[in-house]
Amino acid sequence: MKVKCIFIILFCFFITYDLHPEIFWDGNFYEQALLSFKGNKNIRMTYMGLSILDLKLDTRPSELVRVKSELEYALAHQKDNPLLVSENLESLALNTLNASITPEDFKFTIGRFLPAWGKAKIFRPLDLFIPQTYFLNMLSFRGIDGISAKYYVSDLSSVELLAIPSMDVRHIMPSIDLSSNSSFSNAIDHTVVAANIEIHITPFDNNLILLHDASSGNNLFGFTFKGDAIIGLWSELFYSLGKNSEKNFRASVGADWSFAKYYFLAIEYFYDESGTSDHTKYSRLMASVPRMTFGRQYLMFDFNILNYTELNFGITYLGNLLDASFVLFPYFRYEMLANCFLGLSLYHFNGRAGREFSPDLLGNYILNTYLLVRF
């Protein structure tokens, strides 16, 4: 009911657009079709499709105040779609609705918003509020309900305090039961307070993150940096410990470089102490914890050709180093018309039975086609 009311209010804003010069509407329409091919001789084809309509509202009643909102309508073309963040075929979600005020050197935000703390390219252990999608493109995410106060110490350094009265991560991983915290992932579904201290030391952005889950007693310490030392460099370090959970360390480190004017290379390594090096235990992890990876060590490699046109293409490798399975996907994106993009990628899964990227799970190949229209 609440969502319907909000939708009606947003719709009224939309149709009276001309009366509100400081209201901006943007959005996008996204149509995705996945075709999975399984088997070597008797190829079985499965179709998974999804349509998403995103409406974004941005109002600036004054220089200091800003209200932002994002409403998402998603329609899966059939059940059991791994892309759908819901068990229903269709869903209407208010991803964000927040008000922020920015008096001198401060920013206060209240409502539903999306803190984005990760700095890495693919493996972001410190992106605690955003679902990790390693190889499937997603456009928008549901935020968390909370309050944030940020103080800008200087042009590039700041201190942010965050309070989330009742953090619920079910939308991040809807397939699992989060009635209790997981000893593997330290998932948090209680009142949470956090601090994110950003210190810029040329040429690096450095962040120190401290998070405390008041109910479970779990604590998290994080550190990130991103910057340049001839090549682009970044890293995320995650360490958590608590009364009822095992200590857990995760780290990702990466580098990128563009050379010879047309080529771009990125490489990223990820270590996750909570993962297992024994692939026979994957099913245990799958059943009990909210996680996107099961192994301990991963490598990502991306090669992109920059051709300064509407075309963008490259190839990405993502592999579990310990069970020797990987997914390799060439991708292609073309801007057909202004703000209208066609994307195509072909995921090739490779690995023995029971391994993380084994074709047993999602198929030998998945052809991912999408159309994105921004307006």
Partner 1 sequence: MKKCIVSLLTIIFVSFLAQNIFALTPEEILNKVDDNEVFDTIKYSGVMTIKKGSRRRPRVKTFQAVARGKDKAYIEFTNPGDRGTKYLKLGDELWIKGTYAERADKISGHKLRDSMMGSDYSYEDTMDNEKLVDRYKATIAGAEKVSGHDCYELDLEAKVKEITYARLKIWVDKEQFVAMKIQYFALSGMLLKEMTVDKVKKINERYFPIKVRMVNKQRKDSYTLFEMKSIVLDEPVSESMFSKQQLEK
Residues of the shown chain interacting with partner 1 in the complex, contacts defined by CB under 8 A: 24, 26, 58, 66, 100, 102, 104-105, 107, 113-119, 139-140, 150, 152, 154-156, 158, 198, 202-203, 205, 226-228, 231-232, 256-259, 261, 306, 308-310, 335, 337-339, 374-375
Q: Single out the residue of 312, 286, 315 nearest to residue 300, CA to CA.
A: 315
Residues 6 or more apart in contact with residue 63 via CB below 8 angstroms? none
Closer of 80 and 155 to partner 1 (Cβ): 155
DSSP helix/strand/coil, 70:
strand
Closer of 234 and 326 to partner 1 (Cβ): 234
User: Whole-angstrom Cα distance, residue 57 to residue 70?
Assistant: 6
Closer of 47 and 263 to partner 1 (Cβ): 263
Report in angstroms how near the CB of residue 26 gets to partner 1 at its nearest.
5
Tokens 């060439």 belong to residue: 330
Closer of 11 and 257 to partner 1 (Cβ): 257
Report in angstroms how near the CB of residue 73 gets to partner 1 at its nearest.
16
Structure tokens at 77: 């073309």
Closer of 232 and 354 to partner 1 (Cβ): 232
Report in angstroms how near the CB of residue 29 gets to partner 1 at its nearest.
12
Task: Report CA 207 to chain centroid distance, whole Å.
Answer: 19
User: Whole-angstrom Cα distance, residue 25 to residue 70?
Assistant: 10
**Residues in the chain, total:** 375
Task: Check if the beta carbon of residue 336 is closer than 8 Å to that of residue 312.
Answer: no
Structure tokens at 372: 């994105």
Structure tokens at 80: 């059991």
User: Whole-angstrom Cα distance, residue 220 to residue 213?
Assistant: 9
Report in angstroms how near the CB of residue 181 gets to partner 1 at its nearest.
26
Tokens 């997981």 belong to residue: 182
Closer of 63 and 80 to partner 1 (Cβ): 63
Report in angstroms how near the CB of residue 283 gets to partner 1 at its nearest.
35
Report in angstroms how near the CB of residue 77 gets to partner 1 at its nearest.
24
Q: Helix, strand, coil % (nearest 5) of the chain?
A: 10, 55, 40
Closer of 138 and 361 to partner 1 (Cβ): 138
Report in angstroms how near the CB of residue 3 gets to partner 1 at its nearest.
21
User: Whole-angstrom Cα distance, residue 140 to residue 94?
Assistant: 11
Closer of 210 and 336 to partner 1 (Cβ): 336
Report in angstroms how near the CB of residue 58 gets to partner 1 at its nearest.
7
Element containing residue 90 per DSSP (H, E): strand 90-101
DSSP helix/strand/coil, 5:
helix
Report in angstroms how near the CB of residue 13 gets to partner 1 at its nearest.
16
Closer of 9 and 156 to partner 1 (Cβ): 156
Whole-angstrom Cα Rg for the chain? 21
User: Whole-angstrom Cα distance, residue 313 to residue 333?
Assistant: 6
- The alpha carbon torsion through 238, 244, 245, 247 (nearest 10 deg) reads 60
